[in-house]
Structure 1
Amino acid sequence: MTDASAESPATDAPVATLLVLAKAPVAGKAKTRLTPPYTPHEAAELAEAALCDTLDAVRAMPALRRVLVLAGEPGPWLPSGFEVVPQCAGGLDERLAAAFGACTGPALLLGMDTPQVTPELLAPVLGPGAWRACDAWFGPACDGGFWALGLAAPDPALLRGVPMSTPTTGAAQRARLTGAGLRVRDLPALRDVDTAADVPLAAAEAPHGRFAATAERLRRTTVR
């Protein structure tokens, strides 16, 4: 296993497709686990801010394609430069598998729950040596899941059937990769924003983003 920090930074030559799996930030449908204490509208504001920070980081990086795999409809929050494709039906493992199944060549998939993601964090996967002696990149999440998954040769079978949304999802997914004989490199662990307790912690880890600004505005204007 190679330390990701040892990799060269990304260059302007695209080497991979970048995928973002997301749910449209609609009140009552996005980030429902934040309510209460946040209202459905406030939860949607936080979801939109997290998604925008993620899309900004992806947009800043060289990519063969930038694809938003979306549940719902795009809105004014969507920047230029992204293809939008609908998520398929089924569980999260099926939706992840379908997103990779539509790719040819190396692909990196992110969620919308880690507004702390930066171009610097993504750079190891997109540099000139990113896929040399490497078949997969794995970004663990602090809750036991994962925030990033990169595959040199996307194969939906590597995701189908992996139990999702459990404290051992990340371990199970990584074991699926290594069990298939893939050489895996790890990215730093990040915190998913799943509950209200995660909001100030994630904001503190990315204090200059839209998510942090939104979290601070809601803290100042709302009595909880």
Structure 2
Amino acid sequence: MTAPLVTTLLVIAKEPRPGRVKTRLTPPFTPEEAAALAEASLADTLSAAARVPADRHVLVLDGQPGPWLPPGFAVVPQAGGGLDVRLAAAFAGCPGPALLIGMDTPQVTPELLAPALRRDAHDAWFGPAADGGFWALALARPAPSLLLGVPMSTPDTGAVQYARLRAAGLRVGTLPVLRDVDTAPDARQVAAAAPGTRFAARYAELTTAATGAGR
């Protein structure tokens, strides 16, 4: 008898501590404000991920969990090395189909994520980011070698990763393009596009306070 497939939803993240996350938001935000925005983004992301049907929900974390972690998530530490190595290691720990997302897209919803874990004709799903990277990657058969050596945090990261999938002969489905929150203009656009999120509320709070203080 064939063993049932175990599906995993992975969220890879950094602990939202001042000076360690979202440093490109400073200025205009202070390190503490940037960390507050990162925490809100992470909380929104985890909330959406928790509502996606999967056998395992796993937070792959650089740092320590905090009150922003909802129930139902296992927490594992990130591997050392570059981002490609850390992503590959996250997939290596999965026994079956896996979807990996980051903490930088608080506008994500369960409806956007759900197709990537369905058992259909696709071997992989790819979520391109507006900055040229990617915000989601799903593999029906996790293979760390598909990520190792892909240059990360460059304008063509997404194109290289997508080409790697296709060169491996995979049938790739495409998720909608989303904007990562990396810079202050990113934060403004994402908050406007997702007004009901914790991220949008925190952004409004910080920018209103800054305006009132004459900053």
Q: Secondary structure at the match of 2:99?
A: strand
SS of structure 1 residue aligned to 2:165 = helix
Alpha-carbon distance in structure 1 between the residues aligned to 2:40 and 2:114:
22
* Residue 120 (structure 1) aligns with: 111
Aligned length: 208
2:12 touches 2:101 (CA, 8 Å); kept in 1?
yes
- Number of the residue aligned with 1:155: 143
Query: What is the CA–CA distance in structure 2 between the aligned matches of 1:99 and 1:159, rounded to whole Å?
Result: 11
Per-residue CA distance 1:81-138 (angstroms, 9 max, x = gap): 0000000110000000000000011000000000010011112123xxx332210000
Match of residue 71 from structure 1: 62
Q: CA separation in 2, counterparts of 1:108 and 1:219?
A: 34
In structure 1, what is the equivalent of residue 206 of structure 2? 218
Match of 2:36 in 1: 45
What letter matches 2:109 in structure 1? T
CA distance in 2 between counterparts of 1:158 and 1:209 reads 33
Equivalence map 1:12-31=2 (5 Å):
16-31=7-22
Could you tell me which runs of 5 or more consecutive residues in structure 1 were left unpaired when the two chains were aligned. Answer: 1-13
Aligned-partner residue type, residue 205 of structure 2: R
| 130-139 vs 20-29, which moves further | 130-139
Post-superposition shift, 1:15? 6.3
* 1:175 matched residue in structure 2: 163
What is the aligned partner in structure 2 of residue 107 from structure 1? 98
The superposition leaves residues 156-189 of structure 1 with CA deviations (integer Å, 9 ceiling, x where unpaired) of: 0000000000000000000000000000000000
1:33 to 18, 24, 29: 24
Distance 2:107 2:187 in 1: 11
Structure 1 equivalent of residue 130 of structure 2: 142
3-state DSSP of counterpart to 2:89: helix
| Residue 87 of structure 2: aligned partner | 96
**CA–CA distance in 1 between the matches of 2:119 and 2:173?**
10
Structure 2, gaps ≥5 residues long? none
| Local SS of the residue matching 2:184 | coil
Deviation at 1:205, TM superposition (A): 1.3
The alignment's C-alpha RMSD in Å is 1.1
**Moved beyond 4 Å, runs of 4+:** none
SS for the counterpart of 2:169 is: coil
* TM-score, structure 1 normalization: 0.91
Secondary structure of the residue aligned to 1:222 is helix
Q: Is the 8 A contact 2:53 2:114 kept in 1?
A: no
Note if contact 2:40-2:202 (Cα within 8 Å) is conserved in structure 1. yes
CA distance in 1, matches of 2:102, 2:195: 19
Q: Where does residue 201 of structure 1 map in the other structure?
A: 189
| Distance 1:117-1:15 versus aligned 2 partners, 3 A rule | farther
| Corresponding position of 2:177 | 189
The whole-number CA distance in structure 1 between the counterparts of 2:8 and 2:146 is 18
